[in-house]
C-alpha cells in the first residue's frame, strides 16, 4: 500500500511539474494576435486563437488543409496576418474562398509551408552560408528567397517579387514552427 501512495505522490509531482513546464514554455513562446501560443499544441490548434489570423484560418479551412497542418510535420509556416490579406486587391480573398477556387487557394497556402522545421537561427545560417540569400522550395512548389536585414530581421520574397517581413519569429508548435509575416506570398502565375 505504501508503494501505491508513493507512486501516486510521484505521479502527482510529475504531472504538476510537466504542467508548470508547459505553462513556462507557453510564456517563452511569443504571443500572437493577443493569444498565448503553446508549444505542445499543433499549428491549427494555436492559429485558431490568434485574432490576427482569422482570414488565414478561414482560408485553411476552405482549402481543406486543416488535417494536413494538424499532422505530424514538421512544418515551417509563414503565416500572413489579416492585414496582409487585406492588402491584396479588392475582392481577391472573397474570390479565393469560393469552392470553385479551392485548388488555387490550396496552392497559394501551400506556398507558405516548408516541409521542415526552420527556426530563425537556421534561416540566418542558411542565408549566411549561401552568401546573402537562400532559396527554399515550399510544399506548394514555390521557390522563396530568404534574406536577412541589417537589423537582424528576415525577409521572404516570392517568385513575383512580393517581399514579406517576418514580424514574429520562432513561434514553436508541436509539429513545427510559425513565423508571422506581413504579406501574402503567391506562386509565379497565380495572381
At 116, which CATH number?
2.30.180.10
- The verdict on residue 76 lying in a domain is yes
- Residues 6 or more apart whose Cβ sits within 8 Å of residue 10: none
- Assigned domain for 49 exists: yes
Alpha-carbon distance of 30 to 79, in angstroms, equals 14
Q: How many CB atoms lie within 10 A of CB 183?
A: 21
> Domain count of the chain?
1
Specify burial of residue 131 (Cβ count, 10 A radius: 0-12, 13-18, 19+).
exposed
**Residue 157: inside a domain, yes or no?**
yes
Answer whether residue 165 is part of any domain.
yes
The predicted model scores a pTM of 0.84
Examine residue 42 and state whether it is found in any structural domain, yes or no.
yes
Domain that holds residue 74: 31-181
pLDDT tens for 144-160 read 999 999 998 999 999 99
Residue 156 included in any domain: yes
Q: Which of 25, 90, 22, 79 is nearest to 51 (CA)?
A: 79
Q: Is residue 50 in some structural domain?
A: yes
Please write the tens of the pLDDT for every residue from 86-119: 999 999 999 999 999 999 999 999 999 999 999 9
Amino acid at each position: 500500500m505504501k508503494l501505491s501512495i508513493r507512486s501516486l505522490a510521484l505521479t502527482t509531482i510529475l504531472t504538476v511539474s510537466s504542467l508548470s513546464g508547459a505553462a513556462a514554455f507557453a510564456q517563452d513562446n511569443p504571443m500572437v494576435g493577443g493569444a498565448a501560443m503553446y508549444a505542445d499544441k499543433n499549428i491549427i490548434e494555436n492559429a485558431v486563437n490568434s485574432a490576427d489570423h482569422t482570414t488565414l484560418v478561414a482560408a485553411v479551412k476552405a482549402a481543406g488543409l486543416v488535417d494536413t497542418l494538424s499532422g505530424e510535420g514538421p512544418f515551417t509556416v509563414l503565416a500572413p496576418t489579416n492585414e496582409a490579406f487585406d492588402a491584396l486587391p479588392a475582392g481577391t480573398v472573397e474570390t479565393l474562398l469560393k469552392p470553385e477556387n479551392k485548388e488555387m487557394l490550396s496552392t497559394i497556402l501551400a506556398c507558405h509551408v516548408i516541409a521542415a522545421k526552420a527556426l530563425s537561427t537556421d534561416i540566418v545560417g542558411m542565408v549566411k552560408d549561401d552568401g546573402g540569400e537562400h532559396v527554399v522550395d515550399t510544399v506548394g512548389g514555390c521557390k522563396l528567397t530568404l534574406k536577412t536585414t541589417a537589423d537582424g530581421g528576415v525577409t521572404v520574397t516570392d517568385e513575383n517579387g512580393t517581399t514579406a517581413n517576418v514580424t514574429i519569429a520562432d513561434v514553436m508548435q508541436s509539429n513545427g514552427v510559425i513565423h508571422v509575416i506581413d504579406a501574402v506570398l503567391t506562386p509565379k502565375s497565380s495572381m
